[in-house]
């Protein structure tokens, strides 16, 4: 056996071993919907595609317009859609908190599954928000290596602290208030709720990206996606 062939076999085993280690959502966190719970109106999704320019979303307005356009494309354009993104106090501008932008809830995914009842439930409980329920506007899963997908999109940009508020402006965590595609970082959450292959990550504030370029977002497992909520 040549060295190359031998290494191929080792690599093959490594891949097998890692696929055997594909994470499992705890059964109690899966989408379970009993007969007591009526499906609700579509009011939550993760963008199926990013804007394509890294952390430059054209500010909050650009991000909101992206949410609105994606929702409209699936027939839900009659609602007011808002991106779950914070901006930081900067150049005399006051900070904007993501949690103050999205209405009061309850919010449901495209299948009518309830993501959260209220702002309090979204931030203190959020047990219903995970890979299975946090779908895009078309009802598709968002890529997660931990869940066995080929493409990682799990870093969802928020620019927010765990309570949904803006972060300290001393460090840029909002890609220059969503106008930068190079300098800065984007604080991101994990829609699949995994830290690598271990369950238990924050949906909205897990870590910062490595930069604001599309490549910088990709480097830590992101694709420039963000959460959209119907505010009305």
Partner 1 sequence: MKQKIIMCLGISCLFSASFIQAQETEQPEMGFFVTSVNMGDGANLGGLAGADAHCQSLAEAVGSNRTWAAYLSTQAKNGQPAVNARDRIGSGPWYNVNGHLMASNLDDLHYNNASLNRLYSLSEKGEVIMSRSLGDPIGQHDILTGSNLDGTAISGDADATCNNWTSNDDGAAMLGHHDRLNFSTIGGSWNSAHLSRGCSPEDLDATAGNGLFYCFATD
**Which residues would be at the binding site for partner 1 (CB under 8 A)?**
4, 7-8, 10-11, 13-15, 17-18, 26-37, 114, 116-117, 120-121, 123-128, 130, 133, 162-163, 193, 195, 198-203, 205
Judged by beta carbon, residue 181 or residue 205, the one nearer partner 1 is 205
Q: Hey, what are 201's tokens?
A: 């990550």
Residue 23 near residue 199 (C-beta atoms within 8 A): yes
Q: Write down the least CB distance from residue 162 to partner 1, Å.
A: 4
Of the pair 79, 190, the CB lying nearest partner 1 is at 190
**Least distance from partner 1 to the Cβ atom of residue 65, Å:** 29
CB 66, min distance to partner 1, A? 26
- In this structure, what DSSP letter does residue 111 have? T
> Of how many residues is the chain composed?
232
Query: Which stretches within the chain are classed as H helix?
Result: 3-20, 59-73, 119-124, 175-178, 214-219
Whole-number Å distance between alpha carbons of 140 and 35:
24
CB of 147 to partner 1, least distance (A): 14
CB of residue 78 to partner 1, shortest distance in Å: 26
Are 47 and 72 spatial neighbours (Cβ–Cβ below 8 Å)? Answer: no
Give the integer Cα–Cα distance in Å for 159 and 174: 5
Kindly tell me which of 30 and 138 has the beta carbon lying closer to partner 1. Answer: 30
Please state, in angstroms and as integers, the Cα–Cα distance from residue 66 to each residue in 37, 50, 197, following that order. 31, 8, 31
Of 32 and 219, CB closest to partner 1: 32
Smaller CB distance to partner 1: residue 33 or 48?
Answer: 33
Coil, helix or strand for 186? strand
* Smallest separation (angstroms) from partner 1 to the CB of 125: 5
26 vs 77, which CB is nearer to partner 1?
26
Pairwise CA distance, residues 202 & 5, whole Å: 42
- Scan for tokens 């809830």, then name that residue: 105
């Amino acid at each position: 056996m040549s060295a190359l062939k031998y290494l191929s076999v080792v690599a093959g085993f490594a891949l097998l071993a890692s696929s055997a280690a594909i994470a499992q959502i705890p059964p109690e966190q899966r989408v379970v919907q009993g007969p007591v719970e009526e499906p609700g109106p579509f009011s939550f999704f993760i963008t199926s595609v990013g804007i394509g320019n890294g952390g430059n979303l054209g500010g909050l307005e650009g991000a909101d317009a992206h949410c609105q356009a994606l929702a409209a494309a699936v027939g839900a354009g009659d609602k007011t859609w808002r991106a779950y993104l914070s901006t930081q106090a900067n150049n005399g501008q006051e900070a904007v908190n993501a949690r103050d932008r999205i209405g009061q809830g309850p919010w449901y995914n495209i299948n009518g599954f309830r993501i959260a009842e209220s702002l309090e439930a979204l931030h203190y409980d959020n047990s219903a928000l995970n890979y299975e329920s946090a779908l895009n506007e078309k009802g598709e899963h968002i890529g997660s290596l931990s869940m066995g997908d080929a493409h990682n999109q799990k870093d969802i940009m928020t620019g927010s602290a765990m309570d949904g508020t803006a972060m300290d402006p001393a460090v840029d965590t909002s890609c220059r208030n969503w106008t930068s595609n190079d300098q800065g970082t984007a604080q991101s959450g994990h829609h699949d709720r995994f830290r690598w292959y271990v369950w238990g990550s924050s949906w909205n504030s897990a870590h910062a990206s490595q930069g604001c370029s599309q490549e910088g977002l990709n480097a830590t497992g992101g694709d420039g996606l963000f959460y959209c909520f119907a505010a009305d």
